[in-house]
Amino acid sequence: MVIRTVLTGLTALTLTAPNGFLAPIEWGGGPLTVDALPRVVYTAHRGGALEVPENSMSGLLAAYERGTAQVIDFDTRMLRDGTLVVMHDDTVDRTTYASGSVRTMDRWDWLAVRLRPGAALPGNWRPERPPTVAEVLDRFGGKIMLMLEAKDPRSLDPLARLIRSRKLTRSVFVNTNDPAVARRAHRLGLLAQLWRSRRQMLTDRPEGWAAFVDVLDVDYKARDGDLLRAVNSGIPRVWAHTVTKPKQRDRVLWLGCNGVITDAPGLLSRTPVKKYKPVRAGGPVRR
């Protein structure tokens, strides 16, 4: 546990944070917000899916307690009764012992679902029920920045109600692949995040999104020129996904990205950033 002592007049405030980074001064008051993020941000993708069971409460908790990321990411879907749950796929087949479509289940069906920890994960993990979005917001909201991907655009309004009711509008990024959904999220007063694939980035003109996108989430496999166009778009935060190796991280940071979304936050946090040396025929690449 990291402890910071702040002197305010004659009063000493002791602020605590998970291992790995100092508690922002902001923790002395209300919830932690986007304004407290460092210059370069690490996001634990699905909690860090190469290190913990993805989208599980125990995995998200491990990511928080280890302190190797400043943002924790998870995916959201909506059950047929409107319950918002944490799940990446549109079925539960890949990550649980159950089978079937998420949208055909209700909250009672969800109580019987159990996550199946991957055999290749380090450590010992037990089967557990996948959480609801409300449970994750209540457990971590305001303690660390959260990033949730709204897999179902219909869920945007109920997601906004959950976030607003907990006063977390400046503490949760709402991610989508659809610029129209990102614009709606912005209009709802949320922090809008837009992710784009390598193929999409071939023709994207991201400067057109600068008025409503808070984070542009770009594919690290994109061409240098496409990444540079994103970095120079006027969008304040350009983070690359889904980074798993230090060399991938070093390249996107060299090109000007100010964050990475990673399945291996532990590995990246303990591996120093090295100067990236691109190799190109005809001379060095100019930034």
Domain count, the chain: 1
> Which CATH number characterizes residue 140's domain?
3.20.20.190
Two structure tokens written together for 115: 């996550």
Query: Can you give the pTM of this predicted structure?
Result: 0.88
Q: Is position 194 within any domain?
A: yes
Give, in degrees to the nearest 5, the angle at Cα 54 between 227 and 266: 65
Q: What is the pLDDT of residues 45-92, one digit of tens each?
A: 999 999 999 999 999 999 999 999 999 999 999 999 999 999 999 999
**Residue in the block written with tokens 């060299």:** 254
Nearest to 177 by CA among 143, 140, 137, 204: 204
Q: Is residue 281 part of a domain?
A: no
Q: Which residues form the domain of 64?
A: 32-88+129-268
Residue 13 lies in a domain: no
- 17 found inside a domain: no
pLDDT tens-place string over residues 102-159 = 999 999 999 999 999 999 999 999 999 999 999 999 999 999 999 999 999 999 999 9
Average pLDDT along the chain: 90
* Within a domain: 149: yes
In a domain, 115, yes or no: no
211 in any annotated domain: yes
Of 73-82, 121-130, 178-187, 278-287, the range with the lowest mean pLDDT is 278-287
Q: What amino acid is encoded at 223 in this protein?
A: R
Question: Does any domain span residue 48?
Answer: yes
Q: Which residue has tokens 């290749």?
A: 120
